[in-house]
Amino acid sequence: MIEVLVVAAYPTVRAGLRALLEEATDCAIVGQAASFAEAAELAARFAPRVALVDAGSARGHELGDLAALADEQPDLGLVVLADAGAERYLPPLGRGRVGYLPRDAGPDAILQAVRAVAAGLVVLDPRAAPSLTATPRLALDAPAEPLTAREQEVLALMAQGLPNKTIAQRLVISEHTVKFHVGAILAKLGAASRTEAVTLAARQGLLML
């Protein structure tokens, strides 16, 4: 059974997505959220396999919260229904376990995407491919201050999608120290999130994905 968290700002949209999932015999709804912040709380509490997200009404900073959710819940699959122009704020395809569909995608396409993402795959609607696979408009200059050896180690583990607690265990350091290193990495790379930091580092040749 695929446990799914439904995320949509409008009650009518949530109801529609819920009805679609309720008709599927292999899906179970574990919660509903009206915002990405609420979704993060529910995801931490119920650990669903997939979040089905309508991002159509979200603005830039709200979509940034979606990227933060992807960082904080690396094992959570994301199926995102988004309008054109939202791609710069969405988690990158390289994260894995993501699906991007236009908001007018049909019920069958949405259910297939949920199942595929639950299986660890990436789903990309052909209509969304040009914008989502285009080269991000990110700074390609090397960081003004180079990363330390320890920051490079932390960055490599961040690229694997590991949370701070696991990174701390791998490197035999405290979780507080990991948070300090992550903050330093983001500052040096000029990144707003862990996902963006990994993407920038890879494009600058600091990381091999």
Q: Are residues 40 and 80 in the same domain?
A: yes
- 108 has a pLDDT exceeding 80: yes
Cα separation, 179 vs 80, whole angstroms: 28
Query: pLDDT by residue (tens digit) across 48-65?
Result: 999 999 987 665 556 667
pLDDT exceeds 70 at position 82: yes
User: Distance (Å, rounded) from C-alpha 40 to C-alpha 43?
Assistant: 5
Confirm whether 38 is domain-assigned: yes
| Residue (of 204, 206, 205, 202) closest to 94 by Cα position | 202
Domain endpoint, select from 100, 132, 164 = 132
In a domain, 144, yes or no: no
Reply yes or no on whether the pLDDT at 137 is more than 60: no
Angle between helices 149-159 and 175-189 (to 10 degrees): 90
Confidence of residue 133 (pLDDT cuts 50, 70, 90): very low
Query: Average pLDDT in the 133-140 region?
Result: 45
Tell me the per-residue pLDDT of 20-47, one tens digit each, with 9 for 90 and over. 999 999 999 999 999 888 988 899 899 9
Q: What is the structure's pLDDT at 66?
A: 74
Ranked by mean pLDDT, the top range of 4-18, 97-111, 112-126 is: 4-18
What mean pLDDT comes out for the span 167-172? 93
Residues 73 and 158 in one domain: no
Mean pLDDT for the stretch of residues 175-189: 90
Note down the domain range covering 166.
Answer: 149-203
196: CATH: 1.10.10.10
- Global pTM value: 0.60
